[in-house]
Structure 1
Amino acid sequence: SSLQAIDLPKSAYLIQEAIETQPFKDRRYDLRILAHHKDSGYVISGVGIRHSPYQSITTHTLNGGSISSFQDLEDEVDTSFLSSFVNTCGQVLQKSFPLVEEFSLDMAKSAQGQYYLFEVNAKPMIFDETDIQTQGAKHICNIFYKLTKFLD
């Protein structure tokens, strides 16, 4: 109930308010979104779902989280919003870092239906889902071709 009650070492901390996320099979989940630059915008190459063990906070697979298919939740997710959000994030990133061609987002949907961005990763993880990894590799190859003018 109070930060003064926590005996923290003397360092800088970022404390995030807990977000009651929309459950999936009675467990927390988040969206892992792989994005790539294509033409004049940014597109989603794939969406992975990571869910926590029962009554746990973390969805990370190395800490007990599990992988689910995006198709299991597709009807619960506003893919149009996600596509627009990914493109906007990419455009904003590109203003400061002109060669951002790939990134990933970790997001969740609250119990009230709002989307929350947890982090943006400049170096995306390797996705366990073969279809996402394959689509991402195709986009990266096309980006390399474009940047090197190999196909011109």
Structure 2
Amino acid sequence: MDVDQLHDLVNEIGHCLSSQLGKVGEFSLDLGITEEDQFVLFEINSKPMKFDEKPIEKARINALAELFLSYL
């Protein structure tokens, strides 16, 4: 799987989650990369999670706030 295929896969996952669960707004993928620079998908997480890295956690909270405010 190359970067373009990964991008298409992520979009398809988002559409599938939203069609089954309603507006998800956030999900993450657990990915690996082989020695041949190919992506390997391990898991898809469709619930918000907390990150140890402060910049990532701040961006996550801001994105959630924007999502919640979009319902007003």
Same fold (TM over 0.5): yes
CA distance in 1, matches of 2:20, 2:13: 11
> Rg larger in 1 or in 2?
1
Question: 5+ unaligned residues in a row in structure 2: which ranges?
Answer: none
Aligned identity (percent) is 35
- 1:92: which partner in 2? 16
Select the residue among 22, 40, 44 that pairs with 1:116: 40
Structure with the largest fraction of strand:
1
Structure with the largest fraction of helix:
2
Cα-Cα RMSD: 1.9
In the TM superposition, structure 1's runs of 4+ consecutive aligned residues that sit over 6 Å from their partners are none
Instruction: Count matched residues.
Output: 69
Deviation at residue 106 of structure 1 after TM alignment: 0.4
What residue identity is the alignment partner of 1:90? Answer: G
Deviation at residue 81 of structure 1 after TM alignment: 5.7
CA distance in 2, matches of 1:86, 1:130: 24
Question: 5+ unaligned residues in a row in structure 1: which ranges?
Answer: 1-77
CA distance in 1, matches of 2:39, 2:33: 4
- 2:29: which partner in 1? 105
Q: TM-score, normalised by structure 2?
A: 0.77
- 2:65: which partner in 1? 141
